[in-house]
């Protein structure tokens, strides 16, 4: 924490014409996400605020996964030395946290990174707090230190940082947060995170990360060598089916969130739930063999699940 606050005194890098283009490149990735980020049917203010939050979430994930654009531009925009620190995820995350403090501060200088400057109006107009954003940063710090999860409880604690803040921010932006809605939202977000872990087993392993709990792997007789195979054997597929069912149960627990709201927000939340259900259907259709690549739902299956969710929660 002290290291992050030390960055607060660093000078703003010179602004240049690349900032808007860099922000647009990040925001354009929203169209390729598994779940709708800011669909057209939402009020313009909600779309603006959701895209601002998405920009932050995408930036922190790109830092954590080592997926920033080459050249050190993001490091420079965060006040770091692009020659020395562009490839240091922990230094970048500390600098991003410092920039987050600037978003919530009235003192000069303001935020350095263009995506963080875009976030400022959303934070102020929606009365958002730093905690959800700090959780996302901490999840990506954890990814630098921890690549294995001994128990399902350990994985849930990770999802509390990596996934649940997103749902809480959506509720904050739409002014619909309540203790019960937050509880339901956490269940949905954790489910969606587990779904992604199930789909991306092979990709995660290339980053030296395994999000399948070690106790479950032992129970099903699965080793990391099994996960590195081109296709999944019977034990791997049984393990994936087990984790997918856990995600389904969490989705069921959280789905009443959809019925607790009205109007266009109801459709948005139904889309989140439906995205998870359709992804689970795709995994099942692949006979739970996710090692050749992540099974993806079709648009038709997603629309069908949206309709089914709205009917159940109408």
> In this predicted structure, what is the pLDDT of residue 32?
52
Average pLDDT (245-251) is: 98
Report in angstroms the alpha-carbon separations of 215 from 65, 149, 152, 250.
25, 9, 8, 19
| 50, HSE (Cβ side, Cα atoms, 13 Å) | 21
> In this predicted structure, what is the pLDDT of residue 35?
53
Q: Residues 35, 69, 228, 219: is their CA dihedral positive or negative?
A: negative
Chain centroid offset of residue 46 CA: 18
pLDDT above 50 (res 3) = no
pLDDT above 80 (res 123) = yes
pLDDT above 80 (res 70) = yes
Share above pLDDT 90 across residues of the chain, in percent, rounded to a whole number: 85
> In this predicted structure, what is the pLDDT of residue 10?
37
Local confidence band at 5 (pLDDT 50, 70, 90 cut-offs) = very low
pLDDT above 80 (res 294) = yes
Q: Residues 284, 288, 291, 292: is their CA dihedral positive or negative?
A: negative
pLDDT above 80 (res 239) = yes
> In this predicted structure, what is the pLDDT of residue 106?
83
Within 10 angstroms of residue 139's Cβ, the number of other Cβ atoms is 22
Local confidence band at 40 (pLDDT 50, 70, 90 cut-offs) = confident
HEC states along the chain? CHHHHHHHHCCCCCCCCHHHHHHHHHHHHHHHCCCCCCCCCCCHHHHHHHHHHHHHHHHHHHHHHCCCCCCCHHHHHCCCCHHHHCCCHHHHHHHHHHHHHHHCCCCCCCCCCHHHHHHHHHHHHHCCCCHHHHHHHHHHHHHHHCCECCCHHHHHHHHHHHCHHHHHHHHHHHCCCCHHHHHHHHHHHHHHHHHHHHHCHHHHHHCCCECCCHHHHHHHCCCHHHHCCCCCCHHHHHHHHHHHHHHHHHHHHHCHHHHCCCHHHHHHHHHHHHHHHHHHHHHHHCCCCCCCCCCCCCHHHHHHHHHHHHHHCC
Range with the poorest average pLDDT among 14-23, 81-90, 261-270: 14-23
pLDDT tens for each residue of 83-107:
999 999 999 999 999 999 999 998 8
């Amino acid at each position: 924490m002290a290291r992050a606050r030390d960055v607060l005194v660093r000078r703003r890098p010179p602004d240049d014409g690349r900032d808007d283009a860099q922000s647009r490149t990040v925001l354009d990735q929203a169209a390729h996400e598994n779940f709708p980020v800011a669909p057209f049917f939402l009020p313009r203010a909600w779309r603006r605020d959701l895209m601002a939050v998405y920009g932050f979430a995408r930036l922190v994930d790109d830092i954590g996964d080592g997926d920033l654009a080459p050249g050190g531009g993001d490091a420079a925009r965060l006040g770091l030395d692009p020659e020395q620190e562009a490839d240091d995820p922990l230094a970048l995350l500390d600098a991003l946290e410092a920039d987050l403090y600037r978003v919530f501060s009235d003192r000069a200088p303001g935020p350095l990174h263009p995506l963080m400057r875009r976030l400022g109006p959303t934070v102020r107009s929606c009365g958002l707090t730093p905690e959800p954003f700090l959780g996302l940063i901490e999840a990506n710090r954890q990814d630098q230190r921890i690549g294995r999860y001994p128990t399902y409880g350990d994985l849930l604690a990770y999802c509390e940082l990596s996934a649940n803040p997103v749902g809480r921010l959506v509720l904050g932006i739409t002014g619909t947060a309540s203790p019960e809605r937050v509880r339901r939202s956490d269940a949905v977000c954790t489910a969606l995170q587990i779904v992604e872990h199930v789909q991306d087993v092979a990709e995660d392993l290339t980053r030296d990360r395994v999000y399948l709990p070690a106790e479950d792997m032992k129970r099903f007789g699965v080793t990391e060598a099994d996960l590195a195979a081109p296709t999944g054997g019977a034990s791997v597929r049984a393990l994936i089916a087990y984790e997918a069912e856990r995600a389904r149960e969490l989705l069921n627990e959280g789905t009443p969130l959809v019925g607790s709201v009205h109007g266009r927000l109801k459709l948005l939340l139904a889309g989140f739930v439906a995205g998870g259900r359709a992804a689970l259907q795709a995994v099942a259709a692949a006979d739970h063999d996710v090692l050749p690549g992540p099974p993806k739902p079709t648009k038709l299956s997603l629309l069908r699940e949206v309709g089914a969710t709205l009917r159940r929660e109408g």
